[in-house]
Amino acid sequence: MSRVLPVNVMSVDVEEHFHVAAFDGRFPRDAWASQPSRVEANTGRLLDLFAAHGVSATFFVLGWVAERHPSLARRIVDAGHELASHGYAHEPAFRQTREQFADDARRSKAVLEDASGRPVLGYRAASFSIVKRNQWAFEELERAGYVYSSSVNPVRHDIYGFPDAPRFNFTPAGTGLLECPVTTLEIAGVRVPCGGGGYFRLLPYPLFRWALRQVNGGGHACYFYLHPWEVDPDQPRVEGVSWRSRFRHYTNLRRTEQRLARLLGDFRWTRFDRLLGLAAS
Ligand SMILES: [Zn+2]
């Protein structure tokens, strides 16, 4: 007899193809407005795919994007998804002062709530940038009115990572906030990232699926994430970045949509607010 496995969370970090940590320095903020925008069309592809599979997801939308595409937030909630915040300007939390971080978190929440007419409960920091040394960010998120966050990747990584954070939901000290770290698998005491993004595109799909099944088999929900630009193989190529950044950003873009379709069919998915019992509907 087979056991009922946990329901997982599907999430999307809604940003442009040039809002990426790997391209840091190539696209200063004042150059964003002059770049071709691809986010609306790419998010539309994901909305179509989720609709085809009957999946509801959480969309962490950048405030800067919602301001330029006011109908996008509406379109996301009208399609039955949860709207949450990816901050305003995609600045990693560890590069902001506490005050800057608080302002950015509040500004994005206000923009998204205005655009959608719905309360925004969830937050995801750019590049999973809540780490050991800036845990004050959790207090600022709670103060800004957020209820949960999914801003920690509890692994070692060259850009982000909070390797000694809990692997599963925890309440940061001194707050009433719930942090939902992106999914990892622990093998022989080593944490292996398997929550999405580049790992989803770079690992063979059966291996990735095996990893998520291991986590589900242990009784835990998986928290998966991807970006709209990952289903856009025709995006303009950025020159002059390191081979590692190019590899991370461009490998297997052409296969991602097909892989995602398999993932949607192979597991059960929902939105963060529903999994956490926060949703009104
Ligand atoms: Zn992001």
CATH classification of the domain holding 155: 3.20.20.370
Round to the nearest angstrom and report the end-to-end CA distance of the chain: 32
Task: Please report whether residue 280 resides in a domain.
Answer: no
Q: Residue 42, SS3?
A: helix
The pLDDT of residue 146 is above 70:
yes
The pLDDT of residue 2 is above 70:
no
- Compute, in angstroms, the gap from residue 219 CA to the centroid of ligand 1: 28
- Compute, in angstroms, the gap from residue 18 CA to the centroid of ligand 1: 10
- Compute, in angstroms, the gap from residue 228 CA to the centroid of ligand 1: 10
- Compute, in angstroms, the gap from residue 245 CA to the centroid of ligand 1: 15
- Compute, in angstroms, the gap from residue 151 CA to the centroid of ligand 1: 10
Residue with tokens 């892989």: 259
pLDDT band at 114 (very low <50, low <70, confident <90, very high): very high
Of 85-99, 177-191, 225-239, minimum mean pLDDT range: 225-239
Task: Please report whether residue 229 resides in a domain.
Answer: yes
- Compute, in angstroms, the gap from residue 38 CA to the centroid of ligand 1: 15
- Compute, in angstroms, the gap from residue 17 CA to the centroid of ligand 1: 10
Task: Please report whether residue 1 resides in a domain.
Answer: no
Q: Which residues have CB under 8 Å from 249's CB, separation 6+?
A: 20, 22, 23, 198, 238
Task: Please report whether residue 3 resides in a domain.
Answer: no
- Compute, in angstroms, the gap from residue 222 CA to the centroid of ligand 1: 19
The share of the chain scoring above pLDDT 90, in percent, equals: 75
* Top-confidence residue, 14 or 232: 14
The pLDDT of residue 1 is above 60:
no
How far apart CA 187 and CA 184 sit, in angstroms, is 10
Task: Please report whether residue 60 resides in a domain.
Answer: yes
- Compute, in angstroms, the gap from residue 123 CA to the centroid of ligand 1: 11
For residue 48, give its domain range.
8-275
Over residues 104-133, the mean pLDDT reads 96
Count the domains in the chain: 1
- Compute, in angstroms, the gap from residue 3 CA to the centroid of ligand 1: 35
Task: Please report whether residue 54 resides in a domain.
Answer: yes
Beta bridge partners of 17: none
- The pTM (predicted TM-score) of the whole model is 0.95
DSSP letters, 50-103, are: HHHHT---EEEE-HHHHHH-HHHHHHHHHTT-EEEE--SS---GGGS-HHHHHH
- Compute, in angstroms, the gap from residue 86 CA to the centroid of ligand 1: 7
- Compute, in angstroms, the gap from residue 274 CA to the centroid of ligand 1: 22
How far apart CA 90 and CA 15 sit, in angstroms, is 8
pLDDT band at 154 (very low <50, low <70, confident <90, very high): very high
- Compute, in angstroms, the gap from residue 60 CA to the centroid of ligand 1: 9
- Compute, in angstroms, the gap from residue 90 CA to the centroid of ligand 1: 6
Task: Please report whether residue 238 resides in a domain.
Answer: yes
